[in-house]
Amino acid sequence: MSELHGQRRRHIANGHGRDWEALAAYTGGNWRDLADFAIRQTLTTPQPGYPAYNAKNDTWTYKAPLQIKDQQGNVRTTFWPIVAVASRDGRIITSFPTRDPK
């Protein structure tokens, strides 16, 4: 699965950009870099029980806990990105952060 480009990035920006922006405020960076990092990490190391297949829309859902830490290593926040991937071609459909660990 590749980096987000074009239509998928626009979908995430339009549907979930504010959610990513709120988390990026903890890092001092931009939401696109945080989203790209979170997506890569979530796809690489999903939490137990994931990926989960969703037959209703023929997708795989990935989820994993990620922490944002300050320069001293203190955890500022923990979030669980959700990444939806199309079964037929492996393309990322969307991604958004959640505070729900389940």
Residue by residue, pLDDT tens for the chain (102 residues) are: 344 555 555 656 666 678 999 999 999 999 999 999 999 999 999 999 999 999 999 999 999 999 999 999 999 999 999 999 999 999 999 999 999 998
pLDDT for res 17: 77
Query: What's the pTM?
Result: 0.84
Name which of 78, 77, 39 is nearest 61 in CA terms: 39
pLDDT for res 95: 93
Cα 90 to the chain's mean position, in Å? 15
pLDDT for res 102: 87
